[in-house]
Amino acid sequence: MKRKINVLNSFPFFSETQLDVVRNSVPQAVVDSFAYGETEEERSARRKGEINKLGPHTRELSPQYIEKLAEAEVMFTLDAPTDFVRYAPKLKWVQLIGAGVDHLKGTGLFESNVDIVTTRAARLVAEHAIALVLLLAKQLGQYHELSKAHQWQRLFGQTLWGNTVGIVGLGHVGTELARLCNAFETRVLATRLKWQEPPKVHVDAMFPPEKLKEMLSQCDYVVLCMALTPQTENMFGEAELRSMQPGAFLVNVARGEVLQEDALVRALREGWIAGAALDVFRTEPLSQDSELWNLPNLFITPHSASSVVNYIDVALGQFCENLRRYVDGKPPLNVIDKKLGF
């Protein structure tokens, strides 16, 4: 008889029907649920290491949750409470429903032997990035405002063909974005923090981190795709923005903390660059009194790059694949390097 694997789902929004997909796909999995979710404010505070400033942010763990943690061998979740790992002595790996792990500070996962596994949504985020690039290039935001005002006015946009996109962070998302850019016959430049000369798949030229500003000076569009780590936090500021061309556009689908927002506000107001589109922010949700709302050449989406109707199916599919690998004695896919943070 095959050994049973106790799986604890803490993501609040799975239905029993969806969890039955896991049970039917991996019969050895004994799937139980106990919902745990944090607010965007709490996740933002965790990223900054300031979760304790919110006061009693972590609900007192119920005896039922502690009991389930004690038996869990595998866990599927988005959030986790502070120091929860000490209640889970049998835990081998945790799969997150998202790709980012920077909101898990204080949970004990980084200090433990528990593997952190992510759900890869590179194609979804890359599609969103290319949509934002096209929005800026084709002035679609301005056209929307003109149409609401019943104004028939032609604007002069740009092409991707013949222009240059610079990708900061050639990881999973950056590589997928480079592939999409190739379809537009766009010149693609890229850099990555973990420098080694990678195969130039879909990329025309690679730049080491110390030559980032040289790369930026050649780009018509710059897309930030890097993970948030101590090395990337605040890395894109005034010096980098001033290195861009006055007619260039910036897109951020990485994390809000990689970009110095006050420098971006100055850049847009003073015309250092032509415009920007942001999907992520230093504090989420973005406060109602933020200056960013009122900049005419800035477009905002609410951390929604991977918000698509079939995302749950994507996440469940990857989780089931990893469970099957685990049953077969193989390590799960997409385990992060805790030292690097991605």
Predicted confidence (pLDDT) per residue in 103-123, tens digit: 998 899 999 999 999 999 999
Sign of torsion over alpha carbons 138, 141, 147, 150: negative
Do 268 and 245 have their domain in common?
yes
- 283 half-sphere exposure, CB direction, 13 A CA radius: 11
Do 134 and 235 have their domain in common?
yes
CA distance 129 to 270: 25
**pLDDT bucket at 46, cuts 50 / 70 / 90:** confident
Do 254 and 313 have their domain in common?
no
Do 294 and 164 have their domain in common?
yes
Question: Is position 248 within any domain?
Answer: yes
Question: Is position 100 within any domain?
Answer: yes
- pLDDT value at position 342? 83
- 115 half-sphere exposure, CB direction, 13 A CA radius: 15
Question: Is position 30 within any domain?
Answer: yes
Neighbouring CB atoms inside 10 A of 251's CB total 27
Question: Is position 259 within any domain?
Answer: yes
- pLDDT value at position 326? 96
**Which position has the higher pLDDT, 53 or 289?**
289
* Domains contained in the chain, number: 2
User: 22 vs 17, 37, 166, 167, 322, CA distance in Å?
Assistant: 9, 21, 40, 36, 11
Residue-wise pLDDT for 306-317, tens only, equals 999 989 999 999
Question: Is position 342 within any domain?
Answer: no
Q: Using only C-alpha atoms, what is the Rg of the chain?
A: 22
Question: Is position 54 within any domain?
Answer: yes
Do 128 and 270 have their domain in common?
yes
Do 168 and 99 have their domain in common?
no
**Peptide linkage before 209 cis (omega within 30 of 0):** no
Do 156 and 285 have their domain in common?
yes
Neighbouring CB atoms inside 10 A of 123's CB total 17
- pLDDT value at position 2? 73
Q: In whole numbers, what is the pLDDT of the chain averaged over residues? A: 93
Do 291 and 146 have their domain in common?
yes
Do 254 and 195 have their domain in common?
yes
Active site residues: 255, 284, 303
**Which position has the higher pLDDT, 286 or 198?**
286
User: Is 244 within 8 Å of 216 (Cβ atoms)?
Assistant: yes
CA distance 299 to 278: 6
State mean pLDDT over 30-48. Answer: 90
- pLDDT surpasses 90 at 341: no
State mean pLDDT over 87-101. Answer: 95
Do 99 and 164 have their domain in common?
no
Q: Angle at Cα 236 formed by Cα 217 and Cα 277, nearest 5°?
A: 85
User: 211 vs 49, 87, 205, 215, CA distance in Å?
Assistant: 30, 46, 12, 7
Q: Angle at Cα 167 formed by Cα 165 and Cα 173, nearest 5°?
A: 120
Question: Is position 41 within any domain?
Answer: yes
Q: Please choose, from the candidates 337, 320, 334, the residue with its C-alpha nearest in 3D space to the C-alpha of residue 5.
A: 320
**Which position has the higher pLDDT, 158 or 200?**
158
CA distance 188 to 295: 28
Domain with 24 in it: what CATH number? 3.40.50.720
Do 90 and 177 have their domain in common?
no
Do 46 and 126 have their domain in common?
no
User: Is 135 within 8 Å of 299 (Cβ atoms)?
Assistant: yes
Domain containing 321 equals: 5-120+308-327
State mean pLDDT over 14-21. Answer: 92
